[in-house]
Amino acid sequence: MLGGRNLHEIIENAIDDVYENLSVKIDKTNFDRIHAIEASSCTRFAYYERKDSLPSDNAAKISSLLGNGMRHSLSNLRGEYKIDTLALEVNVDMIMANEFIVRFEIVSTLPEVPHPQHMLYLNACLFAFNKDEGFLIYMTEDGKMVEFSVTKNNRMFEELVRRARVLSTLLKENRVPIVEPSNLCTTCKYFERCYARKKVKDESSGFILEEIFKPKK
């Protein structure tokens, strides 16, 4: 306790405030404005975040704070690309020499190839700011880095626009997007809304393994 107040609760409230301030600003009520971060990631996740969101756990908040905190210390420019009535929004971390767009991603281990969702997002930034090339830089918490070059690509952008249109339409019609299986699903806070999960009792698991591996007669 601290002066009659719960110290743990004070710290959590402070983290929540910073988390909200640094998070990407998305107008959840305007379905004609889709942020590229929504369209490049799981559209089902983006739908739930707008329609029926769950609070993020502390681990997810801290991870987000590390990345977004760094971005806000940089230029963090906001832009958009209009397609008919749809506005595709982006945030870029840096524009170097008024020519190259730079995007940073904080990861636990450095990837050998860039993640598709990160490439889609950076490519959208190139279109929104009318640039031809960008750099995707992965960083670990201990300072290790690897960078990848991304060149403006029409087909990737068309795919992102398609995903943005689908999300916009489903939001308007109150229809949940289909499940998009990914290695990120197991750590997603909406996992149980997408997949039925039932824990096998300990006493049963041995029986199942015995049935699978027992020798055939």
Residue 194 within a domain = yes
C-alpha–C-alpha distance, residues 211 and 53, integer Å: 42
Parallel/antiparallel/unpaired status of strands 33-35 and 86-92: parallel
Q: pLDDT tens digits for 40-68?
A: 999 999 999 999 988 866 666 566 555 55
The domain of 179 spans 7-213
Let me know the angle formed at the C-alpha of 164 by 182 and 188, rounded to the nearest 5 degrees.
30
Residue 165 located in a structural domain: yes
Mean pLDDT score, 25-34: 91
* pLDDT tens-digit readout, 126-181: 999 999 999 999 988 888 999 999 999 999 999 999 999 999 999 999 999 999 99
Q: Is residue 1 part of a domain?
A: no
User: What pLDDT shows up at residue 19?
Assistant: 44
Would you say residue 158 lies in a domain?
yes
Give domain status of residue 201, yes or no.
yes
- pLDDT the model gives residue 51: 94
157 assigned to some structural domain? yes
Judge whether 2 lies within some domain: no
Number of domains in the chain: 1
What CATH number is associated with residue 29? Answer: 3.90.320.10
Question: How high does pLDDT run on average in the chain?
Answer: 82
Contacts of 195 by beta carbon, 8 Å cutoff, 6+ apart: 179, 185
Handedness of CA 176, 181, 182, 188 (dihedral sign): positive
